[in-house]
Protein backbone atom coordinates (compact mmCIF):
# COMPACT_ATOMS: atom_id res chain seq x y z
CA UNK A 1 0.00 0.00 0.00
CA UNK A 2 1.16 3.53 -0.65
CA UNK A 3 2.62 5.82 1.96
CA UNK A 4 1.39 9.33 2.70
CA UNK A 5 4.48 10.76 0.98
CA UNK A 6 3.91 8.77 -2.22
CA UNK A 7 0.21 9.70 -2.21
CA UNK A 8 1.16 13.35 -1.86
CA UNK A 9 3.75 13.10 -4.67
CA UNK A 10 1.17 11.53 -7.00
CA UNK A 11 -1.30 14.30 -6.12
CA UNK A 12 1.31 16.93 -6.96
CA UNK A 13 1.88 15.24 -10.35
CA UNK A 14 -1.85 15.48 -11.05
CA UNK A 15 -1.73 19.19 -10.16
CA UNK A 16 1.06 19.68 -12.72
CA UNK A 17 -1.28 18.48 -15.52
CA UNK A 18 -4.10 20.62 -14.11
CA UNK A 19 -1.90 23.73 -13.98
CA UNK A 20 -0.86 23.24 -17.62
CA UNK A 21 -4.55 23.12 -18.59
CA UNK A 22 -5.25 26.25 -16.53
CA UNK A 23 -2.38 28.10 -18.26
CA UNK A 24 -3.91 27.36 -21.67
CA UNK A 25 -7.55 28.08 -20.76
CA UNK A 26 -7.43 30.72 -17.95
CA UNK A 27 -10.74 29.81 -16.32
CA UNK A 28 -12.28 32.39 -13.99
CA UNK A 29 -12.62 29.77 -11.29
CA UNK A 30 -11.35 28.54 -7.95
CA UNK A 31 -9.86 25.10 -7.29
CA UNK A 32 -11.95 23.21 -4.74
CA UNK A 33 -10.72 19.64 -4.23
CA UNK A 34 -8.92 16.69 -5.74
CA UNK A 35 -10.59 13.28 -5.95
CA UNK A 36 -8.92 9.91 -5.51
CA UNK A 37 -10.99 6.85 -6.41
CA UNK A 38 -10.15 3.60 -4.69
CA UNK A 39 -10.13 0.29 -6.55
CA UNK A 40 -11.25 -1.70 -3.51
CA UNK A 41 -12.85 -1.38 -0.10
CA UNK A 42 -9.51 -2.39 1.44
CA UNK A 43 -7.71 0.48 -0.28
CA UNK A 44 -10.41 2.93 0.84
CA UNK A 45 -10.18 1.76 4.46
CA UNK A 46 -6.37 1.89 4.37
CA UNK A 47 -6.23 5.43 2.96
CA UNK A 48 -9.00 6.74 5.21
CA UNK A 49 -7.14 5.35 8.22
CA UNK A 50 -3.85 6.82 6.92
CA UNK A 51 -5.46 10.26 6.67
CA UNK A 52 -6.64 10.07 10.27
CA UNK A 53 -3.02 10.99 11.04
CA UNK A 54 -2.41 13.33 8.08
CA UNK A 55 -5.53 15.52 8.11
CA UNK A 56 -7.34 18.20 10.06
CA UNK A 57 -10.63 16.31 9.85
CA UNK A 58 -12.56 13.66 7.94
CA UNK A 59 -16.27 13.77 7.13
CA UNK A 60 -17.75 10.63 5.61
CA UNK A 61 -21.13 10.22 3.91
CA UNK A 62 -22.83 7.59 1.79
CA UNK A 63 -23.13 8.96 -1.76
CA UNK A 64 -24.34 6.96 -4.76
CA UNK A 65 -24.28 3.69 -2.86
CA UNK A 66 -20.80 3.90 -1.33
CA UNK A 67 -18.85 5.82 1.32
CA UNK A 68 -17.14 9.04 0.30
CA UNK A 69 -14.71 10.67 2.73
CA UNK A 70 -14.11 14.42 2.59
CA UNK A 71 -10.68 15.06 4.09
CA UNK A 72 -8.99 18.36 4.95
CA UNK A 73 -5.25 18.24 4.28
CA UNK A 74 -2.81 19.53 6.90
CA UNK A 75 -0.95 21.28 4.06
CA UNK A 76 -2.69 22.32 0.84
CA UNK A 77 -1.81 21.31 -2.69
CA UNK A 78 -0.72 24.50 -4.47
CA UNK A 79 -2.42 25.15 -7.83
CA UNK A 80 -2.62 28.11 -10.17
CA UNK A 81 -6.32 28.47 -9.23
CA UNK A 82 -5.62 28.54 -5.50
CA UNK A 83 -4.80 26.11 -2.75
CA UNK A 84 -6.59 22.77 -2.64
CA UNK A 85 -7.23 21.95 1.00
CA UNK A 86 -9.56 18.99 0.44
CA UNK A 87 -9.43 15.41 -0.78
CA UNK A 88 -12.52 13.53 -1.88
CA UNK A 89 -11.73 9.87 -1.19
CA UNK A 90 -14.16 7.57 -2.97
CA UNK A 91 -14.74 3.93 -2.07
CA UNK A 92 -15.22 1.35 -4.82
CA UNK A 93 -18.53 1.60 -6.68
CA UNK A 94 -21.11 -1.13 -5.99
CA UNK A 95 -20.55 -2.49 -9.53
CA UNK A 96 -16.74 -2.70 -8.97
CA UNK A 97 -16.04 -0.61 -12.09
CA UNK A 98 -13.67 1.85 -10.45
CA UNK A 99 -9.87 1.72 -10.78
CA UNK A 100 -7.44 3.28 -8.31
CA UNK A 101 -6.11 6.72 -9.02
CA UNK A 102 -6.65 10.44 -9.08
CA UNK A 103 -9.88 11.01 -10.97
CA UNK A 104 -10.56 14.75 -11.03
CA UNK A 105 -9.86 18.21 -9.74
CA UNK A 106 -13.04 20.12 -9.18
CA UNK A 107 -13.37 23.86 -9.79
CA UNK A 108 -16.21 26.34 -9.39
CA UNK A 109 -16.82 29.85 -10.78
CA UNK A 110 -15.25 32.81 -8.98
CA UNK A 111 -18.26 35.06 -9.55
CA UNK A 112 -20.34 34.16 -12.59
CA UNK A 113 -22.64 31.19 -13.06
CA UNK A 114 -21.51 27.70 -14.00
CA UNK A 115 -23.12 28.23 -17.42
CA UNK A 116 -21.02 31.36 -18.01
CA UNK A 117 -17.84 29.51 -17.01
CA UNK A 118 -18.67 26.61 -19.32
CA UNK A 119 -19.49 28.98 -22.19
CA UNK A 120 -16.23 30.90 -21.73
CA UNK A 121 -14.15 27.71 -21.73
CA UNK A 122 -16.02 26.25 -24.72
CA UNK A 123 -15.23 29.45 -26.64
CA UNK A 124 -11.56 28.59 -26.00
CA UNK A 125 -11.96 25.11 -27.48
CA UNK A 126 -12.60 23.12 -24.29
CA UNK A 127 -15.05 20.29 -24.85
CA UNK A 128 -17.25 19.18 -21.97
CA UNK A 129 -19.34 16.18 -21.24
CA UNK A 130 -22.43 17.11 -19.24
CA UNK A 131 -22.71 14.25 -16.73
CA UNK A 132 -26.11 13.86 -15.07
CA UNK A 133 -26.03 11.84 -11.84
CA UNK A 134 -28.73 11.25 -9.23
CA UNK A 135 -26.94 13.42 -6.67
CA UNK A 136 -25.67 16.20 -9.02
CA UNK A 137 -24.84 17.25 -12.57
CA UNK A 138 -21.31 18.20 -13.64
CA UNK A 139 -19.40 19.43 -16.66
CA UNK A 140 -16.28 17.31 -17.20
CA UNK A 141 -13.32 17.65 -19.54
CA UNK A 142 -10.57 15.05 -19.69
CA UNK A 143 -6.92 16.07 -19.89
CA UNK A 144 -4.36 14.09 -21.91
CA UNK A 145 -3.12 12.56 -18.64
CA UNK A 146 -6.58 11.08 -18.04
CA UNK A 147 -7.29 13.45 -15.15
CA UNK A 148 -10.68 15.13 -15.37
CA UNK A 149 -11.37 18.76 -14.65
CA UNK A 150 -14.88 18.88 -13.22
CA UNK A 151 -16.91 22.08 -13.08
CA UNK A 152 -19.50 22.53 -10.37
CA UNK A 153 -21.54 25.58 -9.36
CA UNK A 154 -20.15 25.68 -5.81
CA UNK A 155 -17.60 24.18 -3.43
CA UNK A 156 -18.27 20.64 -2.23
CA UNK A 157 -18.35 21.79 1.39
CA UNK A 158 -21.32 24.02 0.53
CA UNK A 159 -23.25 21.00 -0.77
CA UNK A 160 -22.34 19.00 2.33
CA UNK A 161 -23.58 21.79 4.61
CA UNK A 162 -26.86 22.16 2.70
CA UNK A 163 -27.58 18.46 2.46
CA UNK A 164 -26.26 17.09 5.73
CA UNK A 165 -25.99 19.76 8.39
Query: Quick one: 96 and 38 in the same domain?
Result: yes
Could you tell me which residue, 153 or 34, shows the higher pLDDT? 34
Query: Quick one: 51 and 91 in the same domain?
Result: yes
Query: Quick one: 68 and 126 in the same domain?
Result: no
Average pLDDT, the chain: 93
Buried/exposed code over 56-89 (b: 16+ C-beta within 10 A; e: otherwise):
eeeeeeebeeebbbbbbbeeebebebeebbbbbb
- 62-89, pLDDT tens digit by residue? 877 789 999 999 999 999 999 999 999 9
Domains in the chain, number:
2
Query: Quick one: 98 and 119 in the same domain?
Result: no
Query: Quick one: 51 and 125 in the same domain?
Result: no
- 105-129, pLDDT tens digit by residue? 999 999 999 999 999 999 999 999 9
Structural domain for 34, as ranges: 1-20+30-108
Amino acid sequence: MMSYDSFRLDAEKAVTFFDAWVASTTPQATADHICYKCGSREEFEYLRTLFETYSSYIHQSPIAGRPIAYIKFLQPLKTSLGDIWFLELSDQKPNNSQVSGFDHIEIYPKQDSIETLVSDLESKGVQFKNVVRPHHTTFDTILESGLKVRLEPEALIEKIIKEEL
